Amino acid sequence: MTQAQQDAVTAAQQKFFACAAANVAAQNAAAAAASALADAQKNATIVVPQQCKDLLNAATDAFYKAQANQQTVIQAAQQAQAALSQAQVDLNKAITESLQTDAVESVKPSAPIM
């Protein structure tokens, strides 16, 4: 075999190995792309919808808790208003009774008022 033939064989082998390496790199890139696609599909079809569902559930729970708390506050305010109204009635009744019995007028201060 001549030197030119050996050089041609060597060049062909180098091209073959370069092509084989490029083929392996392309296969690895294709596998990585397929994995990325699978992950993206999983995110789009499973992960993100579940996250949205969880967020919606949390927001719904917070809404109902706030609504229940609002009802509790309204009831407490209504009870306080009723107690205030009853206290006003009791005060008016006490004033009226004390005026009818002259209890207020008959009380003399024990110490001089300045």
What is the rounded CA–CA span in Å between residue 51 and residue 59?
12
| Cα dihedral across residues 26, 27, 32, 33: positive or negative | positive
The pLDDT value recorded for residue 105 is 57
Write the DSSP symbol of residue 113.
-
| Domain contains 109 | no
Per-residue model confidence (pLDDT) at position 97:
84
Please state, in angstroms and rounded to a whole number, the distance separating the CA atoms of residues 8 and 16. Answer: 12
- Given this model, what pLDDT does residue 83 score? 96
Binned at pLDDT 50, 70 and 90, residue 1 comes out as confident
Mean pLDDT within 79-104: 86
In a domain, 113, yes or no: no
pLDDT for 10-58, tens place per residue?
999 999 999 999 999 999 999 999 999 999 998 888 889 999 999 999 9
pLDDT at 113 over 70: no
In a domain, 1, yes or no: no
40: Cα separation from own chain's centroid: 24
Number of domains in the chain: 1
**Residue 67 belongs to some domain of the structure:** yes
Range(s) of the domain holding residue 98:
8-104
**Beta strand extents in 1-114 (DSSP E only):** none
Q: Which residue has the tokens 């506050």?
A: 73
Q: Is residue 111 part of a domain?
A: no
Q: Is residue 22 part of a domain?
A: yes
27 three-state secondary structure: helix
* Number of other CB atoms surrounding residue 13 within 10 Å: 10
pLDDT at 15: 94
Q: Which residue has the tokens 């699978």?
A: 38
Say what the pLDDT of residue 96 is.
86
- pTM for the predicted model, two decimal places: 0.50
